[in-house]
Amino acid sequence: MQLISILLLVFPLLGFLTIGLLQKQMNRNLSGILASVAIFINFCLSAFLFGYVISSNQVLEVPLFDWIKFADISIPFALTIDRLSALMLMIVNGVGLLIHIYSIGYMKEDESVNRFFAYLNLFIFFMLILVLGSDYLMLFIGWEGVGLSSYLLIGFWFKDHANNNAAKKAFIMNRIGDLGFLLGIFILFSTFKTLSIIDIADKASMMHSGDMTLTIVTLCLFVGAMGKSAQIPLFTWLPDAMAGPTPVSALIHAATMVTAGIYLIARSSVLFVLSPLTMNVILVVGAVTALVGGLIAIYQNDIKKILAYSTVSQLGFLFMALGLGSFSGAMFHLTTHAFFKALLFLAAGSVIHALSGEQDIRKMGGLRSKIPFTFALFIVGTIAISGIPPFAGFFSKEVILTAAFEHGTAMGVFATCISLLTTIYMFRLLFVVFFKPAGKDFKPAHSVHESPKVMLYPMAVLAILSTLAGFVQLPKLFSETQGFDNYLAPIFATANGLVAAPEHGLSVQTEWLIFILPLCVIALLVFYSYQRFVNAKELTPATGIEKVLADKFYFDEIYDFLFVKPIGFLSDFFRQAVDQTIINGFVNAIGNGTLFAGKRLRRLQTGNVGFYLVIMVFSVIAILFFNIIL
């Protein structure tokens, strides 16, 4: 068992090193296969561990070596495999494998395909450290490591500075969050004298709810999560991150890395439930992000940007679930979201591939008949994300909406409205790209072509998962056994035990209402979108409030004005005014003053002995005089 856990890290690392070091020599086709094989082995190992964790019901602790150890500080390098990390293993390696295979087709023509696969394996390596780390510092290693891989992959086509700027922005915004995470780690270490996640949870469960230290710690950790999982105010990097190749957007910026923040909070569930203030902050930030992201998504015209804002919105939704205390609901939606969002991105990639790189949906249209397989897969993804039964998104959203209604009717209605935004922007995308008659701007470079099988099969697998994954847990109306909840129950047992369960669950009528009403609205919205977007000749230019949404609430402009420009100004000011003029000027002035004084004093050296004697006599008198006075 221990060996298997270690091998999980070994294979992606080996893949990275082999492909990375032999970039020049390696055959272009080989690297993709090699990288995929590494992840395939990993997937098999994960499946084995997954089965082991379920059947044995044990938590596997794998100590590797002492990383930082001296005096009273001891931070081992150790892995933990429990139900939560096993679930993440399945997602990361499973979706990762499919996207690796897809990339073989997608990146075929790229001149640096070897570098691409090396980075992709590097990402998996760090993501696994993040998922498996058994203390907060190890989690942090993975956290920064995936940030690095993300940086390298966003800026993969580095000849264009637009991509590089996006990569840099992602790294720096993540670093802002990382500082929060790091401060959280410092407080944890100062308080608990350890960084082991399990030990801290044990010790913290003895503390009382609302403890000041815990509140600050959890807020710091949440800042970290905001950076990585693109929450307001640290979300603007994610849409820009679409500058990377599309498989990267699917794997890193939709399915896995951006959910690390949710994973972190779920991992620390004990700390968070003891900090009601933080939970409310998370709820508010999540809700606002979900709303803003959803609204912006409706007014974007770049196919990948729409999906990116959709991810921002869905991540906000996940944080809402966490804020409501529904940890397993969040993990459930995280899982299904990984499937259908990856599917949507890959399908979008297939569209872009078909149109030889075109991303603007205004220049698409009528693709339904030209790329039928991609179209079918895209439909599955759209239905799944919109929460239409029996597709996966419906079941996982249902859990979160129920939690919201349990919290209060207003909350429930608000959450429902946010989830309905999904329907609007997704069906707008679907209709414009596939149904609307091709406009006059539609001039693909060469004939539109369906993607090769190596790209279609992975998407098909994701489509099946997006369809069926929901059935592991049917809504309470239909089934007593809550499969997913039960699976994660041991992980969240302590946390759930610390908060009082809601006094009474929802009545059956309310549950039916939650179930039926959104479906009706969805049906209406789909109909409306069809009318609005398929039949309208052109997408009308936005005005008024729509313009604000299309311009993304001017977040980038505001940050530029508040931070980027002032720091640039400060940099010049420090360099030119302070450093050159004041500090260096002062030092030089002392030097010049000394030289000047030297020149003047030189005149005293007249060589005239009489003059020296006079000076000496006066000096002696002066010294005596001082002695008398003092």
Using CB under 8 A, list all residues that contact other proteins.
20, 23-24, 65-71, 73, 115, 137, 140-141, 144-145, 148, 151, 155, 158-161, 164-165, 167-168, 171-172, 175-176, 178-179, 182-183, 186-187, 189-190, 567-568, 570-572, 574-575, 578-579, 583-584, 587-588, 591
Rg (CA), the chain: 30
Min dist CB 156 to other proteins, Å, is 11
Which one, 64 or 513, has the nearer CB to other proteins?
64
In whole angstroms, the minimum distance from the beta carbon of 411 to other proteins comes to: 34
Helix ranges restricted to H, 234-326: 237-240, 246-250, 260-267, 269-273, 276-298, 303-323
Of the candidates 469, 294, 307, 316, the one whose C-alpha atom is nearest the C-alpha of residue 396 is 469
- The minimum distance between CB 586 and other proteins, in angstroms, equals 8
Q: Cβ of 277: how many Cβ atoms within 10 Å?
A: 14
Minimum CB distance to other proteins, residue 167 (Å): 8
Q: Side-chain half-sphere of 232: how many Cα atoms within 13 Å?
A: 24
| Count of alpha carbons within 13 angstroms of residue 115, beta-carbon side | 12
When the beta carbons of 590 and 620 are compared against other proteins, the nearer one is 590
Phi then psi dihedrals of residue 506, to 5 deg: -75, 150
Which is closer to other proteins, CB of 182 or CB of 432?
182
- Containing 204, the helix (H) or strand (E) segment is helix 197-204
CB of 603 to other proteins, least distance (A): 23
Identity of the residue, 58 or 190, whose beta carbon is nearer to other proteins in the bound complex:
190
For residues 20 and 490, which CB has a smaller minimum distance to other proteins in the complex? Answer: 20
Q: CA 574, CA 57: separation in Å to the nearest integer?
A: 60
Instruction: Indicate the DSSP class of residue 596.
Output: H
Tell me how far, at minimum, the Cβ of 434 lies from other proteins, in Å: 36
Length of the chain: 630
Tell me the three state secondary structure of residue 79. strand
Nearest residue (CB) to other proteins, 135 versus 406 = 135
* Terminal-residue alpha carbon distance, the chain: 85
Q: In this structure, are residues 52 and 62 in contact, taking their beta carbons and an 8 Å threshold?
A: no
Residue type, 313: S
Beta carbon of residue 221, minimum distance to other proteins (angstroms, whole number)? 15
Smaller CB distance to other proteins: residue 58 or 584?
584
* Cis, bond preceding 490 (omega within 30 deg of 0): no
Which amino acid is it at 229? S
Minimum Å distance from CB 237 to other proteins? 12
**Within a 10 A sphere around the Cβ of 162, how many other Cβ atoms?**
11
Contact, 213 vs 191, CB < 8 A? yes
Query: What is the C-alpha separation between 549 and 310, in angstroms, rounded?
Result: 14
CB 575, min distance to other proteins, A: 5
Q: Report the nearest approach of other proteins to the CB of residue 62 (Å).
A: 17
User: Residue 383 is encoded by which pair of tokens?
Assistant: 């239905």
CA 234/CA 149 separation, integer angstroms = 19
Cβ of residue 231: shortest distance to other proteins, in angstroms? 18
What whole-number distance in Å separates Cα of residue 225 and Cα of residue 134? 18
Determine the 3-state secondary structure of 60 from DSSP: strand
Nearer to other proteins, 11 or 309 (CB): 11
Task: Give dist(CA 45, CA 528) in Å, integer.
Answer: 47
Read off the DSSP letter of residue 437: P
Q: Name the residue nearer to other proteins (CB basis): 225 or 298.
A: 225
Rank residues 74 and 494 by Cβ distance to other proteins and give the closer one: 74
Buried b / exposed e along 97-136 (16+ C-beta atoms within 10 A): bbbbbbbbbbbeeeeebbbbbbbbbbbbbbbbbbbbbbbb
Whether omega for the bond prior to residue 233 falls within 30 degrees of 0, making it cis, is yes
**Position 563, amino acid:** F
Going from the C-alpha of 163 to that of each of 116, 215, 246, 456, the distances in angstroms are 15, 38, 13, 27
If the CB atoms of residues 125 and 434 are measured against other proteins, the closer one turns out to be 125
Which of residues 497 and 566 has its CB atom nearest to other proteins in the complex? 566
Q: Between residues 186 and 554, which has the closer beta carbon with respect to other proteins? A: 186
Burial class (CB in 10 A: 0-12, 13-18, 19+), 447: exposed
d(CA 243, CA 305) in angstroms, rounded, equals 10
Q: How far is the CB of 70 from other proteins (least distance, A)?
A: 4
Closer residue to other proteins, CB minimum distance, 183 or 420: 183
CB of 319 to other proteins, least distance (A): 23
The CB-of-182 to other proteins minimum distance in angstroms stands at 6
Q: Looking at residue 78, what DSSP letter applies?
A: E
Distance CA 618, CA 624 (A): 10
Least distance between other proteins and beta carbon 400 (Å): 33
Q: Which is nearer to other proteins, 146 or 290 (CB)?
A: 146
